[in-house]
Amino acid sequence: MNANTAILLISCPDQRGLVAALSGFVAAENGNILHLDQHVDIEQNVFFARMEWELDGFRIPRDRLPEAVAQLATPRRMKWELHFSEQKPRMAIFVSRQAHCLYDLLARHEAGELEAEIPLIVGNHADLQPAAARFGIPFRVIPADKDRRAEAEREEIRLLEEHGVDTIVLARYMQILSGDFVRRYPNRIINIHHSFLPAFPGAKPYHSAHGRGVKIIGATAHYVTENLDEGPIIEQDVVRVSHRQTIEDLVRQGRDLEKVVLARAVHWHLHKKILVYNNKTVIF
């Protein structure tokens, strides 16, 4: 688990010999492949792969690796991302007033479960400042009402850049982000929506679920795109409910879903297990 590894994420038109080319590339330079997972979308004829290998003993030094990967990738029209396990992602958490997802992430982080630095928590309200303080993480209040959203986002971007943040987790942050903001962090902003999307998008999904009389409620973690609640779905889970549950019961049961669904999505993102294609996710 703690080996110093490289991770290559690939997508390209399907063609013969792709796995042989990928695995041969590592084997030829004395690398040891830990994981090689591939998937072919037969309908779209697209090949996806995630390859992770140990850098110990691998003959290509890290600074020359991007060039070597490019030589492999370009003739095969591969889109690729290269990551190194040593470089810890830097993750900001955005919150509003509800504490459950924040506490859950902070407790996981303290337990060593999340491979990331958390340099910053942003709240549009001050309510969760004490929670952040307990775990010793800087908390900034940036009100984000409609009339000052642009100003708020400028401040947020400045802070995110100052702290070198590459991943943003919206932990029940009940504000809409602008297209400009979202485009700066493509597939790097993870939101938790409190319904089983595409059912019940928008506000108050537990009220809608209760009104419709569904027998199962859900939660959905997804990457944020410009269209609200329509980004690539990373993870979903559900829990059974009955006519006996009030809206308050749904909210309470839903919180448990939200926590665990968001945490799984964050975990996979941090471990570079997610590839986005056609507004869908491949989870390796």
Binder to its own copies among 139, 181, 185, 196 (CB under 8 A)? Answer: 196
83 binding its own copies? (CB under 8 A): no
In the set 229, 237, 249, 256, the catalytic residue is 229
Task: Using the minimum distance from each CB to its own copies, give the nearer residue, 123 or 232.
Answer: 232
Left, alpha or beta for 278 (phi > 0: left; psi -120 to 50: alpha)? left
Residue 133 C-alpha from the chain's centroid: 24
Binder to its own copies among 4, 30, 178, 227 (CB under 8 A)? Answer: 30
38 binding its own copies? (CB under 8 A): yes
- Cα torsion 182, 183, 189, 192: sign: positive
The secondary element (H helix, E strand) that includes residue 8 is strand 5-13
258 binding its own copies? (CB under 8 A): no
Q: Which listed range, 13-21, 77-85, 117-125, 170-178, lies at the site for its own copies (CB under 8 A)?
A: 13-21
97 binding its own copies? (CB under 8 A): no
Q: Which listed range, 62-70, 150-158, 163-171, 275-283, lies at the site for its own copies (CB under 8 A)?
A: 275-283
Binder to its own copies among 33, 65, 72, 157 (CB under 8 A)? Answer: 33
279 binding its own copies? (CB under 8 A): yes
- Amino acid 37 reads D
Does residue 229 carry a catalytic annotation? yes
Q: Which listed range, 70-78, 97-105, 160-168, 169-177, lies at the site for its own copies (CB under 8 A)?
A: 97-105
Query: What is the closest distance, in whole angstroms, from the C-beta atom of residue 44 to its own copies in the complex?
Result: 11
Neighbour-count burial of 240, counting CB atoms closer than 10 A to its CB (0-12 exposed, 13-18 middle, 19+ buried)? exposed
CB atoms within 10 A of CB 184: 16
45 binding its own copies? (CB under 8 A): no
Query: Distance (Å, rounded) from C-alpha 207 to C-alpha 163?
Result: 38
Q: Residue 123: which residues within 8 A CB-CB, separation 6 or more?
A: 94, 95, 96, 129, 132, 139, 140, 141, 142
Query: Distance (Å, rounded) from C-alpha 279 to C-alpha 90?
Result: 24
Window 107-146: contact mask with its own copies (x via CB under 8 A): xx-xx-x--------------------xx-----------
185 binding its own copies? (CB under 8 A): no
Task: Tell me how far CA of residue 8 lies from CA of 14, 68, 283, in angstroms.
Answer: 17, 12, 14
Query: What is the closest distance, in whole angstroms, from the C-beta atom of residue 276 to its own copies in the complex?
Result: 10
User: Strand 167-170 vs strand 90-95: parallel, antiparallel, or unpaired?
Assistant: parallel
Query: Distance (Å, rounded) from C-alpha 177 to C-alpha 144?
Result: 10
72 binding its own copies? (CB under 8 A): no
Residues contributing to the site for its own copies (CB under 8 A): 1, 16-17, 19-20, 23-24, 26-27, 30-43, 99-100, 103-104, 107-108, 110-111, 113, 134-135, 196-200, 212-216, 218, 232-238, 240, 242-244, 246-248, 252, 256, 260, 263, 278-283
Which residues are annotated as catalytic? Answer: 229
